[in-house]
Amino acid sequence: EAQVTQNPRYLITVTGKKLTVTCSQNMNHEYMSWYRQDPGLGLRQIYYSMNVEVTDKGDVPEGYKVSRKEKRNFPLILESPSPNQTSLYFCASRPTARSYNEQFFGPGTRLTVL
């Protein structure tokens, strides 16, 4: 089954404790991205990657890091989480960078930073 998977689905952590949210897709997509979803603000892009070893900042990159060492994986790293990073996070992928392609989203990771 073609899908985007994220782990963990739920995470409660404390300020300053480094964490990684994994994302993997099995569709051989070139383009992957991370979004956060907050009430009243919609989905905002954090980082995106057009292909292996090519990453770039989205609209809200502060406090986050990403890497794209393999085509299928695109982990999101929070080196020192803070309470304002409490949010619902989505990983997404699509065949190429062209935005008219269908974009597939993962099931989401609900992160709470205390």
Partner 1 sequence: TQLLEQSPQFLSIQEGENLTVYCNSSSVFSSLQWYRQEPGEGPVLLVTVVTGGEVKKLKRLTFQFGDARKDSSLHITAAQPGDTGLYLCAGDVSGSRLTFGEGTQLTVNP
Binding residues for partner 1, rule: CB under 8 A, are 4, 31, 35, 40-45, 48, 50, 58-59, 90, 92, 97-100, 102-108
CB of 4 to partner 1, least distance (A): 8
In the chain, the largest separation of any two C-alpha atoms, in whole Å, equals: 39
Helical (H) or strand (E) element with 89: strand 87-94
- Name the residue among 64, 78, 70 with its Cα closest to residue 24: 70
Of residues 35 and 80, the one with the C-beta less far from partner 1:
35
> Is the CB of 12 or the CB of 17 nearer to partner 1?
12
Task: CB nearer to partner 1: give 17 or 72.
Answer: 72
The CB-of-105 to partner 1 minimum distance in angstroms stands at 3
Q: Output the CA angle 101-4-92, nearest 5 degrees.
A: 50
